[in-house]
Structure 1
Amino acid sequence: MPTPTDASLNLPPLKAIQAFEQTARFGNVARAAEQLNLTPSAVSHQLAKLEAMIGRQLFLRNARGVTLTPVGEQYLADVSGILHSFAVATERASSDVSLDCLRLHASPSFGFLWLMPRIEQFRQSHPDIQINLSCSYESLHFSRDKIDVDIRHGQPNWPTLEVRSVPNEHLAVMASPALLAKSPVSSPEDLLHRPLVLSEATLVNWPQWFAQHGLSRPDSPYPLSFDRSYMALEAARLGLGFALESTLLAREFLSRGELLVIAPERLSVPVSAHHLVFPKAHAGFPRVRRFLQWMQQELGRDFSY
């Protein structure tokens, strides 16, 4: 009968790892206890046991909660994804082994406008992978929410995670052919007197765009504003105003001629707004590796790092 190796004897209890991960996530022992359905004292006991085993302090305690020490930050980066890997392994053991489930989460507009029109291409190329896609603006927790890859919108500030930014994304002024025929635009100043659709979700919106062109925002209020890019683009397609939106998200509208970009060389703004985010350990999952390779092909070039 095999005997435990020295390495296996040094493995910390799973409860201690769970207590550490949840406490690091919330910065609060009581909140971690709530998530784990334990008492705060039980979580504190697990943390103390883990720190004693490691021989280093993982948290700094203060009146407002806890913060990770540099050792704690490194430990969190090293163990990130392990609990999720356990959950995935358990799920696969109890399900059809002929299918591997790729769990994706995306910001709503990216999921609806860019990913959905292409997801069948991925499925046809990888019929052994089942796809589960959810969409929201939340930054989900990978292990708790069972997410392989999260496609996020915003500034890429997730230091403990692998981040691959989508390249070649621009915000551009666009409108329907009918609106452009009725209200042509040849300079930024022209847009001061045009109906503008405000997209609240973009990293650069109309006030910043006008400032970049040395102009103040129009005095008149925006006739329409939306908190989702797909709604702003649909409003522009219907001829309700000029939108400042992502050419990446608008690709289908543009390819069908339902929207036109106005003077792209002068009036567009480069942005790094969408990012594929995942724990470093997930890069070793074959389904994730295949999805990342497919995304590279679809986007036409390598990701920026």
Structure 2
Amino acid sequence: MLDPSGLWPNWLKWALTGAALALSIVTLGFAVPAVLTAAAAYTAATTAAALATVATAAAAKAALATVIIVLASKLALATASGLGVVGGILSTAALSIAEVDRKMGWDRSHHINNLGWASFGFSIASWTVSLAGAYTSASLAFNAATKAGAAKDFVKYSSFFDTPIGSGILAAAKRMVGLSYKFTDKQGITTFSKIYGVTRFALRTTNFGRAIEARSKTAPSTPAPEADPSNFSAQPQPQATGSRLTDMPSSSASYYQAFRDEATRVRQPILGELFQG
């Protein structure tokens, strides 16, 4: 990825990109089995809701709604990590091309810039899906707090973050920063999973900031200044391949005419001397 500001050392760019890519791959590896488990639970809940009696229909529908939100939450995590993997691969490719150019003296900044924009697009998509995942966590916490408040022995909420709205905000915030991350539902949230989630969030945030900085400071390509017609022969201007092919007949005709004029100019004095002699 391009770094027009020069604030990021080359080794640090490799470290940040590689670490984020590795964590995205690990997260995706744990997320896919969780999605399959949630999909199986959704199938079972759908069957139970279809077979429910009048007395158990309401409970079955509520359970199905919860299972749907859980499935959406798992899908959001898997999708966000998958998009992160693609974005990390594109960033790694851009860094690799830049490294080869530095050693070989080449300049393929156009390709590097295109890879940077593609990686930036996947990063935006990944963050968007992560926000959707945070919404699912907020929905689950909101529903749980609402259910607790409707219990017969309920007295009052002990704090704002125990209310439906407060618990939803807290759950969404924890989901975004990684404090509620868990590798598997069986293990649950552990100290290591929190450290892992926060580290992944820090890497994603840092790399996203780098991407924004690189995209904002990448100078757009400006048209070449108009050259003096008298310098065309000494300093030919580069053209696109399609333009060169299109202008080839007219260029050949112009060159031929210029050659004839020059030959006539040189030949006239010689012929004049021969006639006089």
Tell me if TM exceeds 0.5: no
The structure carrying a bigger helix percent of its residues is: 2
**Taking structure 1 as the reference length, what is the TM-score of the superposition?**
0.22
Rg larger in structure: 2
